[in-house]
Amino acid sequence: MGKVKETMSIGTLSKQTGIGIETIRFYERLGLVVPIGRKSSGYRIFDDGSLKALGFIKHAKELGFSLNEIQELLSLKADKKSKCQNVQVKAATQLESVNEKIKNLERIKTTLTTLIQQCKQRKTNSECPILDALEYEEKL
């Protein structure tokens, strides 16, 4: 006798994952999540596989992967012949992107800190270094 799959509605799936219903529908349109069927009422039916896929998507997004990259990762996960090295390359590329973003944020932090210190030295809004920097589109 086969094991009966436990099914759930999109609302239950949403509650269990913390992902909004509209987002789940969007992921479904992209093919990232596939319902196992529909009830006679037309409501989608999902199973544990959908729950796992949404958990995967959520964690991958937290690591900064785009939906296209997540789709590729899910394809690699589904392909039993894929190699961990392929995933490693994608993760390394993502790490490079994160490091670049950190550099940019550090540069912005330094610029804002400098501008705030310059502003504290002045008592009026005329010749405000922050406003001047924004007005003249200085590189941050």
Continuous segment of H or E residues that includes residue 25: helix 21-30
Report the SS3 class of residue 101: helix
Q: What is the reported pLDDT for 13?
A: 94
Are 4 and 26 found together in one domain? yes
Confidence grade of residue 130 (pLDDT, cut at 50, 70, 90): confident
Q: Which residue has the higher pLDDT, 137 or 56?
A: 56
The tokens describing 116, both together, are 């705030």
Res. 7: pLDDT tops 80? yes
Contact (Cβ atoms closer than 8 angstroms) between residue 9 and residue 46 = yes
| Domain match, 55 and 111 both | no
Regarding whether 107 and 49 lie in a shared domain, the answer is no
Tell me which residue range forms the domain holding 100.
Answer: 84-140
- What pLDDT sits at residue 1? 47
Q: Sign (positive/negative) of CA torsion 130, 135, 138, 140? A: positive
- In angstroms, the CA 16 to CA 66 distance is 22
| pLDDT (average), residues 54-61 | 96
User: How many separate domains does the chain show?
Assistant: 2
Residue 56, C-beta contacts closer than 8 angstroms, at least 6 positions apart: 70, 73, 74, 77
